[in-house]
Amino acid sequence: MLQRLYDWVDERLDITPIWRDVADHEVPEHVNPAHHFSAFVYCFGGLTFFIIVIQFLSGMFLTMYYVPDIVNAYESVKYLQGEVAFGMIVRGMHHWGASLVIVMVFLHTLRVFFTGAYKKPRELNWVVGVLMFFILMGLGFTGYLLPWDMKAYFATVVGLQMAESVPIIGTLIKTLLSGDPEIVGAQTLTRFFAIHVFFLPAALLGLMAVHFIMIRRQGIAGPL
């Protein structure tokens, strides 16, 4: 049934070369844990991607109940966690996943560093990777404020002070982030929400595409 459906579409649109180009490529022996168990270190990039997918999914579902408003944010989080079925699980996935992404990125970076995979001709991919690391830090910083509880509020107050300590343009950066020169409040929350769910994820998706295309262009770095 499925096979015939596939054949019907393939006959008209010739889709086989498309997915073959994406998915069908050989895994070199030195990165295959089935050959050398120590090659599991090559899995961390894929695991990072896997957890980012979970973050995208769980985040999309959380916005079904969450409102970025200083009056309702905390109550809506409390409601979705306490009253909605599996709310604790879905929020838990997003919460723990956020930390796990950083762990995986760190391990992935260590592997790339110690195998020297960042060297010519792959310098640009290292740069893109570091940019993505910054974006993930930004996602962590902006997402932390969203529950709008005491911890979230004061973590953001501290974070904004750090931004303010930048010479000359510090105050500008702080106001740009918080939406108000003095208050950490209504405008800060909506800004952080917009950055957290639209701007940074979009940038992350773009950079991930670049990251993966470069891997396919250049191939996996050779063995040690």
Residues that bind another protein (CB under 8 A): 54, 57-58, 61, 64-65, 72, 75-76, 78-80, 83-87, 89-90, 93
For another protein, the closer CB: 14 or 83? 83
Task: Provide the minimum distance between the beta carbon of 87 and another protein in the complex, in angstroms, as a whole number.
Answer: 6
For another protein, the closer CB: 76 or 142? 76
Task: Provide the minimum distance between the beta carbon of 61 and another protein in the complex, in angstroms, as a whole number.
Answer: 5
Q: Are 211 and 132 in contact (CB under 8 A)?
A: yes
For another protein, the closer CB: 159 or 201? 201
Q: How far is CA 21 from the centre of its chain?
A: 25
How far is Cα 81 from Cα 76, in angstroms, rounded to an integer? 8
Task: Provide the minimum distance between the beta carbon of 57 and another protein in the complex, in angstroms, as a whole number.
Answer: 6
Task: Provide the minimum distance between the beta carbon of 24 and another protein in the complex, in angstroms, as a whole number.
Answer: 14
User: What is the number of other CB atoms lying within 10 angstroms of the CB of residue 66?
Assistant: 20
Task: Provide the minimum distance between the beta carbon of 67 and another protein in the complex, in angstroms, as a whole number.
Answer: 8
Q: Are 13 and 23 in contact (CB under 8 A)?
A: no
For another protein, the closer CB: 60 or 127? 60
How far is Cα 96 from Cα 118, in angstroms, rounded to an integer? 29
Q: Are 91 and 54 in contact (CB under 8 A)?
A: no
For another protein, the closer CB: 129 or 143? 143
How far is Cα 201 from Cα 82, in angstroms, rounded to an integer? 27
Helix H, strand E, coil C: the string for 115-175 is: CCCCCCCCHHHHHHHHHHHHHHHHHHHHHHHCCCCHHHHHHHHHHHHHHHCCCCCHHHHHH
For another protein, the closer CB: 54 or 131? 54
Task: Provide the minimum distance between the beta carbon of 53 and another protein in the complex, in angstroms, as a whole number.
Answer: 8
